């Protein structure tokens, strides 16, 4: 590895990467953020919740909505509907969730490279913005198809590909196969972003060395821990400035991030209920002293303002000097 800074992406994650969390991640050092993956069927039918998932803010630029679906015509229509507000549109062929794959979408489509290529070709044909793709190595039933698909998608005009080093069948088990990402990265000229098992600076450096990728995408490692982007850049020498939370202390950083997330929610959503707040509350407190008993109270609390303050008070107590002795 030559030490050159590479872009770090926040992965699209359902129930996690709402707009407030994406802006928070950007403030914590993420170079690129992507929306929660959103069904083309919901967007084309003007479902209100689906459209809320593809809201953005000038602080997020570039704005990249990610869409998925199994019906090519719906995907094409969705590209046409989104492109006036999007800087880039990303297509998901990586989700392993059964409810998605049962509808012949997400990673299930990797079993049929011709269908993937046809869908992307038709989306590119109507697009006035770049089209990118996120995928897995294959379905895990039969030979992996990612290498073939990536080569063909490059020829069709896809501008960037992110590859998660697992198959649909693996979901999130086992170890990401970085060697197959490397084979893809060395076989195409467009940027390849590596995804899978990057949780700190050590694994970030190892992944870049193993794959030769043009950047990293972090998913589960960033849940409840948006500071991971700053930490990686700091530890690899890519960032020398102070973090937005001031002193370089994990508990102080976590408290600052939670309060900042609450502020961003109020700023962006006003009085609209945040469906993801409780999930974020659990993630921000996971593994901390006394958190298990507090989470019982969180699950009982219906008032979001009270819930937010409960977590803030808990994290503030952990960040006081007596807890650092």
Q: Which residues are catalytic?
A: 95
**Tokens (6 digits) for 184:** 């893809």
What is the C-alpha to C-alpha distance for residues 158 and 214, in angstroms, rounded to an integer?
15
Can you give the chain as a three-state secondary structure string?
CCCCCCCEEECCCCCCCCHHHHHHHHHCCCCEECCCEEEHHHHHCCCHHHHHCCCCCHHHCCCCCEEECCCHHHHHHHHHHHCCCCCCEEEEECCCCHHHHCCCCHHHHHHCHHHHHHHHHHHHHHCCCCEEEEECCCCCCCCCCHHHHHHHHHHHCCCCEEEECCCCCCCCCCCCCHHHHHHHHCCCCCCEEEECCCCCHHHHHHHHHHHCCCEEEECHHHCCCCCHHHHHHHHCCCCCCCCCCCCCCHHHHHHHHHHHHHHHHHHHHCCCCCCCHHHHHHHHHCCCCCHHHHHHHHHHCCCHHHHHHHHHHHHHHHCCHHHHC
What is the C-alpha to C-alpha distance for residues 100 and 79, in angstroms, rounded to an integer?
19
């Amino acid at each position: 590895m030559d030490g050159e800074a590479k872009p770090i992406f926040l992965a699209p994650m359902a129930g996690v990467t709402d707009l407030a969390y994406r802006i928070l991640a950007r403030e914590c050092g993420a170079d690129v953020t992507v929306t929660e993956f959103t069904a083309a069927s919901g967007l084309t039918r003007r479902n209100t919740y689906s459209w809320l998932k593809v809201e953005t803010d000038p602080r997020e630029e570039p704005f990249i909505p990610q869409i998925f679906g199994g019906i090519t015509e719906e995907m094409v229509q969705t590209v046409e509907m989104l492109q006036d507000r999007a800087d880039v549109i990303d297509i998901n062929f990586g989700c392993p969730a059964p409810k998605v794959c049962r509808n012949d979408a997400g990673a299930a489509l990797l079993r049929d490279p011709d269908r993937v290529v046809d869908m992307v070709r038709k989306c590119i044909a109507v697009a006035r913005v770049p089209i990118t793709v996120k995928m897995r190595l294959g379905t895990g039933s039969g030979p992996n198809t990612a290498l073939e698909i990536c080569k063909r998608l490059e020829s069709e005009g896809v501008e960037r590909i992110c590859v998660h080093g697992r198959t649909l069948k693996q979901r999130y088990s086992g170890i990401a196969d970085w060697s197959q990402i490397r084979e893809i990265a060395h076989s195409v000229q467009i940027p390849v972003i590596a995804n899978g098992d990057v949780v700190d600076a050590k694994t970030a450096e190892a992944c870049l060395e193993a794959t030769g990728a043009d950047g990293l995408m972090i998913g589960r490692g960033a849940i409840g821990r948006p500071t991971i982007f700053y930490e990686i850049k700091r530890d690899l020498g890519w960032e020398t400035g102070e973090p937005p939370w001031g002193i370089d202390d994990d508990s102080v950083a976590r408290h600052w991030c939670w309060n900042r997330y609450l502020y961003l929610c109020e700023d962006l959503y006003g009085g609209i209920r945040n469906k993801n707040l409780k999930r974020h509350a659990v993630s921000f407190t996971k593994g901390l002293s006394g958190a298990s008993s507090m989470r019982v109270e969180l699950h009982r609390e219906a008032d979001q303002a009270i819930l937010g303050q409960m977590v803030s008070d808990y994290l503030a107590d952990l960040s006081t000097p007596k807890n650092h002795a």
